[in-house]
């Protein structure tokens, strides 16, 4: 299917009912639009896990020389089948679904601050004019390390300078407005202090061309260079792109929240949220055990892509261990 077909109203309303398990969102968008935003973003976390399987497999098989221009139809199709995907494809499908439902939405970016030298782009969705003209809502349909089960009113954050939005799964979230941009902080349940997760920018960076099915990271890179700090200017180089590409291609990442409880995979580690909100870690001893556990919690990921990813990338990473 083409990108236009995948992102059509019929396709995404079908995805909403079949994968997200939300019936009649059109009526809900009219009767209680804020409640629908909350429900949508939580449904993404519960039913459409963040993972890098399709992204890595498709890029590895793509003959294009320019890896800054990526064909996106296969990755979008994976999201719509319920297999999930990375933040870019989760956000694109949510933005288009919201557009079909009559919302004024677009894709925006954040810069993660997980550790020095490992800043990365993160894609999210912004929605304008929901309750009244001029208000602004933030939705993050998928992250690797810190879930957010609700839409956040950024207009309220701006008014108050700080807004505590409470707990989602194993983390506590808050937002701040510091005069230039919004920041999101998170704190695991067993931690004492909040950590900065990302800085959010409000520009429209919906960088997908539905006519040719290309996501143009090069144009996005130029946009960031023009808009953001000197430290980020230094990141927008081919070496920085190569570093991020290696991170994605050499590690297996999957995070989801079936029934609101975290089930995360990072390479050979599985983390499951217990009743107290803590993540209990198990080291998996074989690639067969990994496949069994992933598909136990995420049955829609039982695909040849998952098998290919683990066989080719994990054998290289762990040699005889897996």
Cβ partners under 8 Å of residue 84, min gap 6: 48, 49, 50, 51, 78, 90, 142, 254, 256, 298, 300, 301
Element holding 160 (H helix, E strand): helix 154-160
pLDDT of residue 170: 95
Closest to 257 measured CA to CA, from 298, 226, 309, 228: 298
Q: What percent of the chain is modeled with pLDDT above 90? A: 61
Per DSSP, what are the bridge partners of residue 187? 172
pLDDT of residue 314: 72
Contact 159, 151 (CB under 8 A): no
Q: Coil, strand, or helix at residue 190? A: coil
Whether residue 60 has pLDDT greater than 90: no
Whether residue 316 has pLDDT greater than 80: no
Highest mean pLDDT (candidates 61-70, 71-80, 213-222, 234-243) = 71-80
pLDDT tens string 33-43:
999 999 999 99
Least confident of 11-25, 81-95, 186-200, 216-230: 216-230
pLDDT of residue 48: 96
Q: How confident is the model over 25-51, as a mean pLDDT?
A: 97
Per-residue tokens: 199: 């800085």
pLDDT band of 57, cuts 50, 70, 90: confident
Whether residue 207 has pLDDT greater than 90: no
pLDDT of residue 244: 55
- One-character DSSP codes across 200-217: EE-S----EETTTTEEEH
Element holding 96 (H helix, E strand): helix 87-100
pLDDT of residue 250: 80
Would residue 169 be called left, alpha or beta, if left means φ above 0 and alpha means ψ between -120 and 50 degrees?
Answer: left
pLDDT of residue 294: 96
pLDDT of residue 40: 98
Whether residue 149 has pLDDT greater than 50: yes
Q: What is the pTM of this model?
A: 0.89
Whether residue 69 has pLDDT greater than 60: no
Q: What percent of the chain is modeled with pLDDT above 70? A: 80
Mean pLDDT of the chain: 85
d(CA 157, CA 107): 19
pLDDT band of 219, cuts 50, 70, 90: low
Contact 266, 252 (CB under 8 A): yes
Q: How confident is the model over 222-235, as a mean pLDDT?
A: 50
């Amino acid at each position: 299917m083409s990108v236009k077909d995948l992102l059509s109203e019929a396709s995404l309303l079908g995805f909403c009912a079949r994968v997200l398990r939300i019936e009649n969102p059109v009526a809900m968008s009219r009767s209680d639009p804020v409640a629908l935003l909350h429900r949508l973003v939580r449904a993404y976390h519960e039913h459409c896990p963040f993972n890098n399987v399709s992204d890595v497999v498709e890029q590895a098989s793509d003959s294009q020389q320019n890896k800054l221009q990526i064909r996106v139809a296969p990755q979008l199709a994976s999201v719509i089948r319920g297999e999930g995907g990375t933040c870019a494809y989760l956000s694109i499908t949510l933005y288009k679904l919201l557009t079909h439902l009559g919302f004024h939405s677009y894709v925006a970016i954040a810069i993660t601050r997980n550790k020095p030298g490992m800043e990365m782009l993160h894609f999210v969705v912004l929605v304008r004019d929901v309750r009244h003209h001029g208000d602004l809502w933030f939705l993050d349909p998928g992250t690797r390390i810190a879930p957010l089960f609700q839409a956040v009113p950024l207009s309220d954050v701006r008014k108050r300078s700080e807004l505590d939005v409470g707990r989602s799964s194993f983390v506590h979230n808050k937002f701040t407005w510091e005069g230039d941009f919004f920041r999101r902080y998170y704190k695991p349940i067993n931690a004492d202090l909040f950590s900065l997760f990302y800085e959010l920018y409000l520009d429209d960076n919906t960088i997908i061309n539905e006519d040719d099915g290309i996501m143009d990271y090069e144009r996005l890179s130029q946009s960031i260079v023009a808009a953001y700090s000197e430290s980020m200017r230094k990141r927008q180089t081919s070496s920085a792109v190569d570093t991020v590409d290696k991170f994605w291609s050499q590690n297996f990442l999957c995070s989801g929240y079936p029934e609101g409880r975290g089930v995360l995979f990072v390479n050979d580690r599985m983390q499951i949220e217990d009743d107290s909100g803590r993540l209990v870690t198990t080291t998996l001893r074989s690639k067969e055990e990994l496949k069994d556990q992933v598909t136990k919690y995420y049955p829609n990921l039982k695909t040849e892509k998952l098998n290919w990813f683990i066989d080719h990338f994990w054998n290289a990473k762990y040699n005889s261990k897996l």
